Amino acid sequence: MEKEMTVCLLNDSFPPTIDGVANATLNYARCIQKSHGRAVVATPWYPGVKDDYPFRVIRYASAAITKRLGYRGGIPFDPRMQYFLAHQNVDIIHTHCPFMSTVVARILRYNTGAPVVFTYHTKFDVDIEKRVALNPVRNASLRLLLNNINACDEVWVVSRGAGENLKSLGYQGDYIVMENGVDFEKRRTDEQTLSGMREAYHIAPDETVFLFVGRMMWYKGVRISIDGLAKAKAAGAKCRMFFVGDGADRPEIEAYCEKAGIREETVFTGAIQDREKLRSYFSLADCFLFPSTYDTNGIVVREAAACQCPSVLVRGSCAAEGITDGRNGILIEENGDSMAEAVAAACRDRDRLREIGRHAADEIYLSWDDAVAKAVRRYRTVIERYTREKRSRLLENEMRELKVEFEKRKNLYIRRYYRFGRQLIEGKGPRLALKLLSSGKDKKDE
Q: How far apart are CA 189 and CA 316, in angstroms?
A: 31
Please state the rounded mean pLDDT for residues 118-123: 92
HSE on the CB side for 399, CA within 13 Å? 6
Beta bridge partners of 42: 10, 58
Q: Residues 436, 419: contact at Cβ < 8 Å?
A: yes
Using the predicted structure, report yes or no on whether residue 413 has a pLDDT greater than 50.
yes
**285: Cα separation from own chain's centroid:** 28
Average pLDDT, the chain: 89
257-278: pLDDT as tens digits: 999 999 999 999 999 989 999 9
pLDDT for the residue 406: 59
The region of weakest confidence among 14-23, 300-309, 362-371, 404-413 is 404-413
3-state secondary structure of 126: helix
Q: How far apart are CA 180 and CA 10, in angstroms?
A: 16
Which residue type occupies 78? D
How many CB atoms within 10 Å of residue 62?
19
pLDDT for the residue 196: 98
Beta bridge partners of 118: 95, 155
What is the share, in percent, of the chain residues with pLDDT greater than 90?
72
Q: Omega of the bond prior to 291 within 30 degrees of 0, cis? A: no
The region of weakest confidence among 111-115, 304-308, 375-379, 439-443 is 439-443
Residue 220, φ and ψ in degrees, nearest 5: -80, 0
pLDDT for the residue 273: 85
Q: Residues 63, 2: contact at Cβ < 8 Å?
A: no
Using the predicted structure, report yes or no on whether residue 114 has a pLDDT greater than 50.
yes
Please state the rounded mean pLDDT for residues 166-183: 94
Please state the rounded mean pLDDT for residues 228-250: 96
pLDDT for the residue 155: 98
pLDDT band for position 387 (cuts 50, 70, 90):
confident
pLDDT band for position 382 (cuts 50, 70, 90):
very high
Using the predicted structure, report yes or no on whether residue 97 has a pLDDT greater than 90.
yes
3-state secondary structure of 117: strand
Using the predicted structure, report yes or no on whether residue 400 has a pLDDT greater than 80.
no
CATH of 191-365 given 1.10.220.70, 3.40.35.10, 3.40.50.2000, 3.40.50.720: 3.40.50.2000
Q: Residues 38, 32: contact at Cβ < 8 Å?
A: yes
Contacts of the segment 409-418: beta carbons below 8 A, 24+ positions apart: 412/440, 415/440, 416/440
The structural architecture, per CATH, of the domain 5-181+369-393 is 3-Layer(aba) Sandwich (3.40)
How many CB atoms within 10 Å of residue 106?
18
Every domain of the chain with CATH number 3.40.50.2000 lies at 5-181+369-393, 191-365
pLDDT for the residue 334: 98
3-state secondary structure of 83: helix
> CA-based Rg of the chain, rounded to a whole angstrom?
31
pLDDT for the residue 72: 82
133-155: pLDDT as tens digits: 556 666 777 888 999 999 999 99
Please state the rounded mean pLDDT for residues 190-199: 98
Q: How far apart are CA 44 and CA 255, in angstroms?
A: 34
